Structure formats: C-alpha cells, structure tokens
Amino acid sequence: MTQVPENAGMDQVATGVQTTSTSGDLSGFSPIQLSEVSLVTQSDTGLVEVPGLNLSFDDNGMTIRKRTGDLVKVLPWEALLDITIEDIQINPIDPIASAMSVATERRSHEFRIKGLEARELSDNLAKLAKHYTGSQGIVEGDGGTLSLLLPYIVFAGIALLGLVLLVGHLTGHVSV
C-alpha cells in the first residue's frame, strides 16, 4: 500500500491500465477489463492508495480481483447505483487518467485508472449497463456533470446581475 498525503487531490493518485473494452456496437457484449487499477480509500492516517487491482464489467456486474487473480468482490449490476467517471491529471507528462466512483447502497468505492480517458470508459460502460440493466443511467461520464457546467452558470449569473444593475442605474438617471 502507498500512503497518500492527507491533502492529495485526485490529480496525484494513480497506477496503470490495460483495457480490452468494447467499442462501437456490442456484438457479443465483450466484457471491459481494466488492469492495474488503484483503489483510494480512507484509513486512520489519511488517504491510502491500494494498487494492483483488476476490474471487470461483464454479465455479473463489476468484479474486483487482486493482481494475483484472487477474488475480492463481485458487485452485481443491481447493486450498482451510480458510476461516475471523470478525467484527472496525474502529472504533466502523462495527463490521461480517469477517476471512477462506484456507489452501492452500503458505500462508495473510489478507483484511479491511468491511461484511459473518462469519455471512452463511460461510453463503453453505459452500453454494457443498458444491455444488462435496461438503463444506462447509472453511468455518468465526464462532460455531463454539473461540476463542469458550474463555471458557465456562475458566469451567466454574474453577467445577468451586472446587466440588471446597469439597467437600474440607467433607469435612475433617466427618471431624474
């Protein structure tokens, strides 16, 4: 296990990935295999990175295995309430990485996947989720979240407020 500084942002934690994911149509619905994934979890001393995990998404749902192949956990599709995937920057030299949060009724699991863009992973997971659950709504990919739209919403609000104040100021000058 690798100790992660208490104030470490998502852009400081990750290992590696190899994927044999589907693309285009899902002829045969090939599983998505993610290798060298890190789990980021809270411990008594702060955030801890647990490297060397493999994730697979298939007809069973999400399967977590150790690098050795030992089974850690199987989360069936019915247990997966939400999967959020975002691009993160690990370092300036190798900026492509994804952070994946998987929520169940009991808890949320945070994973870091190096070398894979969020859009690619979320599109493929959404296709599998739709096939196995009838809904792709559990998968939220980068680009569709409120956090990405928030700066634009704030800017529009400030611009609107400035316009209202300007009109009020000009109206005050005209009526006098």
Average pLDDT value for residue range 17-22: 36
Claim to verify: residue 160 and residue 120 sit in the same structural domain: no
Confidence of residue 160 (pLDDT cuts 50, 70, 90): confident
* CB within 8 Å of 69: residues ≥ 6 apart: none
Same domain for 166 and 97?
no
Phi, psi of 45 (to 5 degrees): -100, 5
Question: Rounded mean pLDDT of 75-80?
Answer: 90
Residue 22 has a pLDDT of 36
One domain for residues 149 and 173: yes
Average pLDDT taken over every residue of the chain: 74
Range of the domain at 88: 2-144
Number of domains in the chain: 2
Mean pLDDT of 79-97: 78
Q: Are residues 157 and 78 in the same domain?
A: no
pLDDT for the residue 15: 31
Q: Does one domain contain both 135 and 167?
A: no
Residue 97: C-alpha distances to residues 37, 90, 128, 129, 150 (Å): 11, 7, 21, 22, 22
CATH code assigned at 52: 2.30.29.30
Q: Residue 89: exposed, middle, or buried by beta-carbon count in 10 A (0-12, 13-18, 19+)?
A: middle
Taking the complete model, does pTM exceed 0.85, yes or no?
Answer: no
Cα four-point dihedral sign 150, 155, 161, 163: negative
Based on its alpha-carbon atoms, the radius of gyration of the chain, rounded to whole angstroms, reads 21
* Token reading at 72: 């850690």
Q: Are residues 50 and 110 in the same domain?
A: yes
Query: Among the listed ranges 1-10, 38-47, 85-94, which one has the minimum average pLDDT value?
Result: 1-10
More confident residue, 87 or 70: 70
Q: Indicate whether 88 and 135 sit together in one domain.
A: yes
Residue 174: pLDDT band (50, 70, 90) is low
Provide the percentage of residues in the chain whose pLDDT is more than 70.
68
| Whole-number pLDDT of residue 168 | 80
Task: State the pLDDT confidence band at 161, using cuts at 50, 70 and 90.
Answer: confident
User: What integer is the mean pLDDT of 42-58?
Assistant: 90
How far, in Å, CA of 103 to CA of 109, rounded?
6
Distance CA 66, CA 61 (A): 17
Q: Which residues contact 107 (CB under 8 A, 6 or more apart)?
A: none
Q: 54 and 127: one domain? A: yes
pLDDT digits (tens, 9 = 90+) for 102-154: 998 888 889 998 877 788 888 888 888 888 777 656 776 654 444 445 566 67
Q: Does position 63 have pLDDT exceeding 90, yes or no?
A: yes
At residue 66, what is the residue type? K
